[in-house]
Homo-oligomer: A and B are copies of this chain.
């Protein structure tokens, strides 16, 4: 993302208009969004929180990459705020007809779809759309190439805060395919804004990130160093097709032994450390199944928080929209 993309997110009054990246979202705004999200959490079994704050608005879910969970999460978040949600299966129809992305966007705008939720495999697509929409339209990035997934970053931040709000004294370790991970990028941006004590990125050397993309982090190539006294351990999904095929990336068994987040490797971390994963999980590869289902795992809490942070973002953007 170019430097000015961070400022592109705000309108002329400094209000959040688009959510493209967590870069440029300061600690106050992050905290406000997490606080608002907390307000949408209810006890399991209770009816989900609802409001009518987006009643009459239309949200377009444009997923140019397949997705079940993030799409469903945005869908439910929008509906629980009273919005109409239009799910567009973009791959199978207009792209077949060769329509450009902007023409799809202009079409939706003309149908009074005012909030566009966009996932795309290419760099810069959400910002490109944000630069081209009308003044009253907002764009939410729902996953962009390997560089940004801001609502995931928010839900991760909320989940960590629920464990321990004292970010300055926390050690957070992210393990796996850092190089290709928009999840790691957004989490890193958010955590550093909150002044996290230490952020460590652990991966096989072949999947290590360009360190300039993650300033202020510590890069490790083994779990022993990386997880030492960690408060939070986040395992990342690894694409199966990369395992054993990419030069320097070991096969499944060796990957699990060396980089799997497991009961064994969690011994390096603090006794009360939590285990996170953005899902969908490859059990037995990047995470041990019984650990994911155990008491230290907050994996399903992350999902619950995901709906809540998306409601918080949608609600905030919708209110600013209505005030214009």
Using a CB–CB distance below 8 Å, which chain A residues touch chain B?
A: 42, 44-45, 47-48, 50, 56-58, 66-69, 71-73, 75-76, 79-80, 84, 86, 88-90, 92-94, 96-100, 103-104, 106-114, 134-136, 240, 279-283, 299-304, 306-307, 321, 324
Measured between beta carbons, the chain B residues less than 8 angstroms from A282 are: 98
* B72 with A307: CB separation less than 8 A: no
Q: Residue of B at shortest CB range from A90?
A: B68
* B280 with A97: CB separation less than 8 A: yes
Among B66, B111, B301, the residue within 8 A (CB) of A303 is B111
Measured between beta carbons, the chain B residues less than 8 angstroms from A88 are: 68, 72
Measured between beta carbons, the chain B residues less than 8 angstroms from A306 are: 111
Residue picked from A94, A103, A113, most chain B C-beta under 10 Å: A103
Lowest 7 CB-CB distances: which A-B pairs, in order? A45-B136, A110-B303, A99-B280, A110-B300, A47-B56, A48-B112, A68-B93
This chain: how many copies in the complex?
Answer: 3
Among B89, B94, B112, the residue within 8 A (CB) of A280 is B94
* B66 with A86: CB separation less than 8 A: no
CB distance from A50 to the nearest CB of B (A): 6
* B135 with A45: CB separation less than 8 A: yes
CB distance from A20 to the nearest CB of B (A): 21
20 contacts between A and B (CB under 8 A): A44-B112, A45-B134, A66-B92, A66-B93, A66-B96, A68-B88, A68-B90, A68-B99, A72-B111, A76-B86, A76-B112, A76-B113, A94-B280, A100-B281, A100-B283, A103-B283, A106-B299, A107-B279, A110-B304, A111-B303
Q: In the complex the two chains form, what is the Cα distance from A276 to B86 in whole Å? A: 26
CB distance from A44 to the nearest CB of B (A): 6
Measured between beta carbons, the chain B residues less than 8 angstroms from A98 are: 240, 280, 282
Measured between beta carbons, the chain B residues less than 8 angstroms from A112 are: 42, 44, 47-48, 76, 304, 307
